[in-house]
Amino acid sequence: MHLDDKTLLAQFALPELREKAYTAIIKKYQEKLYWHIRRMVIEHEDTNDVLQNVFVKVWNALANFREDSQLYTWLYRIATNESISFLEQKKKKTAAVSLSNEDNGYDFENSIKADKHFDSTRLEWQLQLAINQLPEKQRLVFNLRYYDEMPYEEMSKILGTTTGALKASYHHAAKKIEDYIVKHA
Name, in order, each residue with C-beta under 8 angstroms of 157's C-beta and a sequence gap of 6 or more.
69, 73, 77
The per-residue pLDDT for range 43-74, each reduced to its tens digit, is 889 999 999 999 999 999 999 998 888 999 99
- Give residue 90's pLDDT band: very low, low, confident or very high (50, 70, 90): confident
Structure confidence at residue 115 (pLDDT): 57
Structure confidence at residue 23 (pLDDT): 96
Nearest to 180 by CA among 132, 148, 139, 144: 132
Structure confidence at residue 122 (pLDDT): 62
Query: Are 78 and 57 spatial neighbours (Cβ–Cβ below 8 Å)?
Result: yes
Radius of gyration of the chain (CA): 18
Query: Are 78 and 69 spatial neighbours (Cβ–Cβ below 8 Å)?
Result: no
Q: Could you tell me the pTM of the whole model? A: 0.74
Name, in order, each residue with C-beta under 8 angstroms of 2's C-beta and a sequence gap of 6 or more.
24, 27, 28
